[in-house]
Amino acid sequence: MAVRDTDPVDSAAFLGAMDVGIDLQLATPASRSLAYFIDQLVIWLIGAVLLAVAVLAGLNLVDAGLEPGPLIAVLVVGWFSFEGLWFTGWELLGGGQTPGKRAVGLRVVRTDGYAVGPGGALIRNLLRPLELGSGGTIAMLAASLTARHQRLGDLAGGTLVVHDRPAHAPRGTPTRWPDGVDDADVGLLESWFDRAPALATAARAALAERLLTHVEARYPGFVEAPRTADAAQTLEQAFAVGGPDRGTGTARG
Amino acid sequence: MDYADFVAQGRPAWDRMEALADQAGRDLTRLGADELEALVTAHRIVVSDFAWARTRFPDAATTQHLRTLAFRGHQLLAPPEPPALERAWTFLAHGYPRVFQATLPATVGATALFLGATLLGVVVGGVNLDVARMFIPEESLTGLREGRIWTDTIGDSQDATSLSTMIFTNNIRVALAAWAGGSIAGLGSAGALLFNGLMFGCMLTVTWHHGLLDRLHAWVAAHGPLELFLICCAGGAGFTLARGLVDDRGRSLSRTFAEAGRTSVKLALGTVPWFVLCGIVEGTLSPQMDVATALKQVVGIALLGTFLVYTLVPRPMETHA
């Protein structure tokens, strides 16, 4: 019997350039189900519209004396292809993302992290009807029991589904930092400068005051300028923040 | 290096990589040679900076941004694959026959299972005709009792084009089900082969009982041999897939199953053009009851023979660049 990949992990690491591992969070069965539901909804909507248009056009052509046989053939092949190729087509042309996966922030990739190819996309989607035919039981069981939340189609196709919601560069960029600043404070302050412009004035002022007090206590002497009434502005000056919303700051440290 | 210096020094390369990746989209041919070189250089810097940032500042927004950029570059700079048409041709000319030969025992096993089930159907029908009748729709049974067989009227209600199309799409669905059933430890594939074989055997007995076996023979003679064998091939592909679940050779399940998946899908896909051919024959020649059955038999044997020659003639070994 094969060695089972049963120890669950929450991220997949791909070996990138210079053998550096690029780790991404794996999609959970719940997020995958949500993405599938969105796709199915879109398929039903588009399918209903296409069917109505095809039937109306077909009736007109039959009225004009055309034989219905070829029209039925086109309809059968058209629907077979549309339904069957929706996921494969999107995953190939959309960089591993169907509209549902894009909405939820998921992406199908090969197990080595490269973009999914025709073979992988085809295999995982050919197995989809079987796995979902039982109300999704087989797919949910497989995704829950395998370490990397792979359904059978993923295992056979050599693919994974990962969370890939692109992180943008922080909008407000501090260009001056205290010596020995730790990771938690970097994360906290970058997040603050990124989001502060979008906060309500009162909330922004209150949070800025607390953050400024924290910085002064943790890194004595870093905030050189005298405190002003606007704590947010004092923080921006202390960290020499620059960015699209603020203009370019000047490093002072 | 402190965090401020790290960001200040790295940002130009990160921004450069992001701009070039935006410019390329998913198609590197949109970049000139210099730009491509710049992208590769910038990506290496991004990956290197990401490795440093992840260790020192794992929660920083800059680290998350670098992770996004590193992954984007990883996907964009993937090793190229040969053009699709070239791959399709290579697969049909050499790949499919080679895989077919390598997995022949699975196909033979599937064929044996189907033939065994057919024989069982014939025996069951011989012992108790009522059981055999359960596999045939009531409407068709009524026709049989009145001396008519359903195959006589199939071609009357539709023209050849739509009939062929419906037949081959349906047959491809049956084959896909037989293949996909392999993913549940081969049970689905075995079930599909047993059911179809049993149904075929019962059908032979019931039509023989009503004196209409020659009419059924006249219908299936041209397309039947190849079509039934292709369903067995799809079942064999399912068994090949199932083998990945149980034959580990000391490796992980995901790896053996992925390998079996790739092999089995090649087996299943290789049958598709032949299913289309069968559908065309079934939609055009098979319904012609005024064509001599002997001629249809020759066509049926020729189709199966061509498929067997195509798949079983030895091919040159695969070469790797």
Give the Cα separation of A53 and A137 in Å (integer).
Answer: 35
Q: Does B131 share its domain with B64?
A: no
Average pLDDT of chain B is: 85
DSSP states of B260-310 as a string?
A: HHHHHHHHHHHTHHHHHHHHHHHHHTTT-TTS-HHHHHHHHHHHHHHHHHH
Q: Does B60 share its domain with B94?
A: no
Residues of A in contact with B160 (CB under 8 A): 69
pLDDT in tens, A158-204: 899 999 887 777 677 787 888 888 888 888 888 888 888 888 888 88
Q: Give the number of domains in chain B.
A: 2
Q: Does B69 share its domain with B207?
A: no
Run of H or E including B72: helix B61-76
Cβ A73–B73 below 8 Å, yes or no? no
Q: Does B72 share its domain with B90?
A: no
B52 part of a folded domain: yes
CB B202 within 8 A of CB B241: no
pLDDT in tens, A230-253: 888 888 888 888 654 443 333 333
Q: Does B72 share its domain with B92?
A: no
* Cα atoms in the Cβ-side hemisphere of radius 13 Å centred on B228: 23
In this complex, the residue of A3, A170, A176 whose CB is nearest that of residue B61 is: A170
Percent of chain A with pLDDT over 70: 87
Cβ B50–A22 below 8 Å, yes or no? yes
CB B208 within 8 A of CB B239: no
Q: Does B165 share its domain with B300?
A: yes
**DSSP code of residue B59:** T
Run of H or E including A236: helix A231-238
pLDDT at B320 over 50: no
Q: Does B64 share its domain with B111?
A: no
Q: Does B13 share its domain with B115?
A: no
Q: Does B197 share its domain with B68?
A: no
Query: Domain end: B24, B49, B76, which one?
Result: B76
pLDDT in tens, B175-209: 888 888 888 888 999 999 998 899 889 888 988 98
Give the Cα separation of A253 and A90 in Å (integer).
Answer: 49
pLDDT in tens, A120-139: 888 888 878 777 766 777 77
Q: Does B201 touch chain A (CB under 8 A)?
A: no
Percent of chain A with pLDDT over 90: 16
Q: Does B153 share its domain with B189?
A: yes
B319 part of a folded domain: no
Q: Where are chain A's structural domains? A: 11-163, 173-242
Show the domain range for B14: 3-76
Q: What is the pLDDT of residue B158?
A: 58
Polymer length in residues for chain B: 321
- Whole-structure pTM value: 0.65
Query: Domain end: B56, B76, B96, which one?
Result: B76
B317 part of a folded domain: no
Give the Cα separation of A155 and B253 in Å (integer).
Answer: 8
B195 part of a folded domain: yes
CB B236 within 8 A of CB B176: no
Cβ B75–A95 below 8 Å, yes or no? yes
Q: Does B179 touch chain A (CB under 8 A)?
A: yes
Q: Does B168 share its domain with B42?
A: no
Q: Does B65 share its domain with B93?
A: no
Structure tokens at B49: 């900076």
B99 part of a folded domain: yes
Query: To the nearest whole angstrom, how far is the Cα of A206 from the nearest Cα of chain B?
Result: 23
User: Any bridge partners for residue B252, and if so which?
Assistant: A3
Q: What is the pLDDT of residue B1?
A: 61
B260 part of a folded domain: yes
Query: Domain end: B76, B103, B118, which one?
Result: B76
